[in-house]
Amino acid sequence: MSDIVQIDDSSGEGGGQVLRLSVAMAAATASPLRIFNIRAGRKNPGLRPQHVAAVDAVAQLTDAKVDGLSVGSSKLTFTPGHLASGNVKVDVGTAGSVTLVLQAVLGALSAPGAGPAEVTVRGGTDVIMAPSWDYFANVLVPTLGRAGLAMDMECQRRGFFPKGGGRGILRTEGMDRPLRPFRSEATQDARIEGSIVWSGLPDHIPTRIDHAMRKELVDLDVGRIRKKHVEAACPGVVATLWADLGDAVLGGSMVGQRGLPSEKIGRDLARELVADIEAGATVDSHQADQLVVHAALANGPSSLRPRRVTRHTETAIGTAREFVPLGVREDATEGTINLEIEVDQ
């Protein structure tokens, strides 16, 4: 096992993203980790329930020794015992994001030799500042599947803010070889699909979101936008769009909030997707930052082409470099940035 990796979470963007990526990379590279000043600049510093659940899930999968894993803790050490595999269950206990917990889990499960696994998470399946469940299932899962991480997802119950109560299951088949590099290309014109899921709200809300989406997508090939009413612990609505480009898929999601007009949800979500398509992007900006950890574990150079490189992507690159000698080159093209990512040999 390598020397302990030391990460100061107060540097750069910090926050929960650095914690999740650090634990994922520690698990995937069999590296002991010490992380301190966790979320030092946040309103409520230290670990929150969502972060505890993410670390706990990866720790269970890797039989890791963990010190400092409690709400409010500003530092922890994480020493994995083996590569990730097995069946685990975690409960955030709040409306904290299920998909952000699964981000950390998927990083750990991308290592060669990891899996198979089944991970069940209770919490918020569709909450702000996190990918929606349908984005995860229809954008990230197929992208990772093409790279060699076979998996499926099952949402047994939706969970919205503030009560949560959702339940999702992720199953992977295991990794008998390294991930293939990400070389997403648009091999067909964009075919757009989507979903609107709501609970405890009038039916005119998803209808208005749908109409606003379609106004912005009128010049594109739009397939089915599924509308589904569900039972949940509290009212909520989430809209998700994704575009199938053949050998690539990109998308986005938006969760309703009090005071946010339905028309703005549909309009803003669709406009962002249209801008990505018209720019020639083959990954959306959110997908780009999620794929960095996986590209760092792939067996060759990956090429990601988002419309812009966000601070989240830069943070993901910086965090991955603490564990592997990651080489990154950015080349501006007309409308997009081409990110070439490869572990230096």
Which positions are catalytic? Answer: 312
Write the DSSP assignment of 98-127 as a string of letters: HHHHHHHHHHHHTSTT---EEEEEEEBSS-
Phi, psi of 169 (to 5 degrees): -125, 135
Q: Give me the residues paired with residue 120 across strands.
A: 89, 169
Hey, which bits of 93-218 come out as E strands?
Answer: 117-123, 151-157, 166-172, 185-199
β 337-343/326-332 pair status: antiparallel
Angle at 33 between CA 29 and CA 39, to 5 degrees: 120
Place of tokens 């230096």: 344
Cis peptide before 116 (omega within 30 of 0): yes
- Nearest partner of 248 among 267, 276, 222, judged by Cα: 276
The answer to whether 124 touches 53, Cβ cutoff 8 Å, is: no
Q: Is 271 exposed, middle or buried (0-12, 13-18, 19+ CB in 10 A)?
A: middle
- Nearest partner of 124 among 98, 101, 100, 104, judged by Cα: 98
The residue type of 119 is V
Cis peptide before 181 (omega within 30 of 0): no
Q: What is the DSSP code (8-state) at residue 193?
A: E
The answer to whether 266 touches 209, Cβ cutoff 8 Å, is: yes
